[in-house]
Every structure is written in structure tokens, then in C-alpha cells.
Chain A
């Protein structure tokens, strides 16, 4: 059966290749830093479970130190603009097909693993989507290699080119998830909820609904994740005030409350995988700014939508 452990080995080999290509890349004055960064990540993927908790903590600290000193941008061996135009003209719309293999395999693999008994023996049903996504990526790579016959090392070189463009932001989502675990252990969420409940007027349905929705958005904005904000704000305001005191329907209050939190996700650089990673992938010049182009494009939708959520909760969540 293919599990996440196999996906980690493939991922580790990919990062190890990125590390090696970085070390030998004379065009990058910071090649030792890039090589070290991807190398540490490769160690984490290949041997993380043998390192112990302190070992993994030190490894994460090492990644932080290297990223703080600063990564360089590797010189990429890739095709020229003319070669790309010629290949685009020669291969036509068939080029789109391999890009669609990845989501198609991810979806098909998930369904097969969850819905069929033989599929559950091939793909770990507990991690079906992630395992299938990795399978899709490998199948798409193999299809392009067999079809276009680029040099044998091309997938690793091209992968390194793109992962270098993403840079340290590649592991920010993973780091934030780890910070969430530390926050949870220290009881940060409970404290914030208590503060909010003590200092905000919550006497009427409109006030309480507004406080809950805006609180969800603001706390999500600070934490970068509506999942972290939801238990805190709902335990502080949503459940005791909006539902129990003022008579809101719990399913409707919570469903809309979570979506109010998503409005906050659209406005924060801390939600790195949604707002910072694409700015890097798209090579926006302001990608390092707190309010980069992606966030600025999203705020004018997020604020009216937050208002819409307040109105929807106020008028839909109190059936009686």
C-alpha cells in the first residue's frame, strides 16, 4: 500500500536534488545557503522520524537561521524564449493535457481509495488525496518525459528552478502549523477568547453577530488560519452569546462564522500558502510587502463579503 511515508521519501529525494544542484551552481553567490536549506529539508523528509523531537526542533531552527541570513536565486538551465515559442507552436494544445493529469489523478485516486476495496489496498485511504496528488505529479512528469524527451535531469533542474523562485516561503505554511501546536499547548486561544468576551458589548443580536463575525475575521487575520480562530471565537462569543443567550441556530451560526473567518484569511500575509506563495510564484515585485498585490486584489471582495456574512447570520440564523 502506498502511504504518506512513501510520499515523504520521494519529496526528500526531490529536495536532496535541489540541494545538490544548488551546491554546484557557480552562478549563485549564496549557493552554500541554498544548498544547506534544501539539504536540511531533505533530511527532514527522509529521516525526520528518526531525529527525535529535539533533533527536528534544531533542524527547524537551522532552516530559520539560513533563511534569515538570506537565500540566493540559482541560475537556471532551462530553454530559451525562442525554443519555448517553437515548442508551443509545434506541440499545440496537447501541452495542456499533462497539466490536467495532476488534478485528475488526485481526484481519481482519492475516489478509488475511499470507494473501492481494491483501491484501499493500493492507496492509504486515510491520506488518499495527498498520496494521489504525489502520484499525479509523478505520472505527469513521466508522461512529459516520454513524450517530449527532454534531458534526463530536466525534471529535477526545472523543479529546482521553481522551488528556488518560491524560496523560504515554501516551508512557511509548515512552520505556521507548528506554531499553532505551540500556541495550543500554551493556551493562547483561551486567553484571547476571554479578553474578547470581557471588553466587547454583546447585548443585542446585531451587536453579538457583528462581534462574532468581525472577531473571527480579525483573529484569523492575526493567526493566518480560520481553523485556529474558530474554536476560540466560537467558545468565547458564538456559542455562549449568539446561540445560547440570543437563540441562534448552532449549525447556521457556526457555518457562517467559519466563512467570516475566511474573509480574514484573504487579508493577511500570515496566510502564506494562499497570499505569499502565489505572489512569489507570479514574481510580483511587491511580494515581500505586508500587503502584496494578491492581498490588495482580495481586500475589496473580503470586506463587503464580511458585511454580507454579518447580514446573512443576522437574518438567517435566528429561525424562531
Chain B
């Protein structure tokens, strides 16, 4: 039971708003010490356990460097921002009269979910698509209708741009048979003596994918209604 202290450290750390990196390290050390603790443990044994935990954390940190290698895309994205990519995206969308924030994000959601279902999970992402393209386009659509945006609505629109990317990805990718989560399920069931085909698993991800599309479509429609209500006051905007 003592090893659950690590989860307590994670929760407490986020409640206290400590730096999340510190929380993670503290949780790892707590868990390692708790797993090694017995009533007979002396200080030397505890120090040895802390060192062993640091070693296993360090090994995992090195093995997981691929998680952070994606930041290399920032060079190209930064260069394009320098050349006015965001300004261009805003200008393009501002010229499309039918574009509203909700409709634009819906189109992105639909494409992102469909692409993920075909295994194209890399078509999109926060650094590659949302910051340079989708968020400025959505802001541009709102500005074209309502003029200069108050901060509150601007940040709301940006948040929804990121949310559309996440939700479309999560509930699209499992339809593709070779995605990590499908392989994890297959491996887990096989270890428990049950053989399933990846295709069978991905087939049963489709109902949830449709539910996600329906629910989020409604959310985006409500977002448009909310923006109309709060921003289209007489005299406000151009």
C-alpha cells in the first residue's frame, strides 16, 4: 500500500501548484523509497534506495528522449512565423465571408479526425498546425465579423483551437489498426490468453468516434452562438 504515496505526491503537487517537473521527481523518489521501506531499514538502506530510484529514472529518461525530439519542428515554424505565416492565415480567413470560428474549427476537426483514422496522426499537432495556422485563422474569422477581440474571447478561441486538435486526434486514431493503443490492448489481452484481431478493436472504436464528432459539432455550434451573443453588440466591431 505504501507505494501509493507516489500518486498522493502527484495529486498534492498539482493542488499546491508546485513546478510539475519537481512534482514528478518527488513522486518518483517517494515511490522508490516507499517500495524499499521496511521497519528494519536504516539510513544507509534508504540512501541506497534513493540512488537506485534515481538510476531507474535516469535510464527511463534516456530511453524516452524520442518524446522530446519533436521540438526540432520549431525551427521551420519559427522561420515561417518570421515571414508572416500567422498574418497571412488571418488575412486569408478574414476574406472568406462564410467562415465563423465554429465552422472553421469544425472543418479542421473533421479533417484531423478523418486523417487520424487513416493513420495520418502527424497531419496536425499543436506546434505544427494549431499555433501557426488554426488559432490565427480562427481569430481572423472572429475579427472579420466582430472587429477587435476582447482578451477573454481571444483566449477562448485559442483554447478551442487546441481542444479541437486533441479531441479529433484521440477519437480518430483508434480506428487505425496499427496505433499504439490498439497494439497495447492486443498485447494485454494476449498476455491474458485472449486473442483478438487489431481490426476488431478498431471497428469498435468507430461508435465512440461518431459520438465524439456529434458532441463536439454541437459544442462548436454553441461556441459560435456564444461569440455572437457576447461580441455582436450594437456599435461594437466594424
Contacts and interface: CB of A to CB of B under 8 A. Distances in A.
Contacts of A170: 68, 71
Contacts of B89: 96
B60 A259 contact: no
Nearest to A276: B20
B143 interface: no
B65 A14 contact: no
B96 interface: no
A270 interface: yes
The interface residues of chain B, by DSSP majority, are classed as helix
A29 interface: no
Contacts of B58: 51-60
B59 interface: yes
B82 A154 contact: yes
Contacts of B60: 177-178, 180-182
A305 B213 CA distance: 10
A202 interface: no
B87 A88 contact: yes
B102 interface: no
B75 A96 contact: no
Contact of B55 (A54, A129, A272): A54
Nearest to B19: A68
B211 A312 contact: yes
Interface in A243-265: 250-252, 254-256, 258-259, 262, 265
Interface string B59-85: 111111111111111111111111111
B46 interface: no
B184 A227 contact: yes
Contacts of A275: 166
B12 to A, nearest CB: 12
Nearest to A180: B60
Contacts of A163: 71, 74
A119 to B, nearest CB: 16
Given A96-B88, A107-B122, A48 B21 contact: no
Given A63-B21, A155-B75, A278-B165, A187 B62 contact: no
A188 B31 contact: yes
B82 A298 contact: no
B149 interface: no
A156 B75 contact: yes
A84 B83 contact: yes
Contacts of B55: 53-54, 57
B62 A282 contact: no
Interface in B74-128: 74-89, 91-92, 120, 122-124, 126-128
Interface in A175-204: 175-183, 185-188, 191-192, 195
A27 interface: no
A162 B78 contact: yes
Contact of B82 (A44, A158, A286): A158
A144 B73 CA distance: 13
B227 interface: no
Interface in B142-175: 151, 155-156, 158-163, 165-167, 170-171, 174
Contacts of A52: 58
A81 to B, nearest CB: 8
Contact of B1 (A10, A11, A191, A285): A191
A134 B72 contact: yes
A168 B201 CA distance: 37
A141 B72 CA distance: 10
Contacts of B35: 185-187
B25 interface: yes
B37 to A, nearest CB: 11
A181 B104 CA distance: 40
11 contacts: A60-B61, A86-B84, A107-B122, A179-B27, A181-B59, A187-B35, A231-B188, A279-B159, A298-B163, A301-B215, A309-B208
Interface of B: 1, 3-4, 6-7, 10-11, 14-15, 17, 19-22, 24-25, 27-28, 31-32, 34-35, 51, 53-89, 91-92, 120, 122-124, 126-133, 135, 151, 155-156, 158-163, 165-167, 170-171, 174, 180-182, 184-185, 188-189, 192, 194, 196-197, 200-205, 207-208, 211-212, 215-216, 219
Given A57-B61, A179-B28, 10 more contacts: A57-B55, A88-B85, A137-B76, A177-B67, A181-B59, A181-B63, A281-B130, A290-B14, A298-B167, A309-B208
The 9 closest A-B pairs by CB, nearest first: A158-B78, A57-B58, A56-B58, A88-B84, A293-B159, A57-B54, A181-B60, A278-B162, A178-B60
Interface of A: 4, 7-8, 10-11, 14, 41, 44-45, 48-49, 51-61, 63-64, 67-68, 78-79, 83-89, 91-93, 95-96, 98-99, 101-103, 106-107, 127, 129-130, 133-134, 136-138, 140-141, 144-145, 148, 150, 154-159, 161-163, 166, 168-183, 185-188, 191-192, 195, 222-223, 226-227, 230-231, 234-235, 239, 250-252, 254-256, 258-259, 262, 265-266, 269-270, 272-279, 281-282, 284-286, 288, 290, 292-294, 296-298, 300-301, 304-305, 308-309, 312, 316
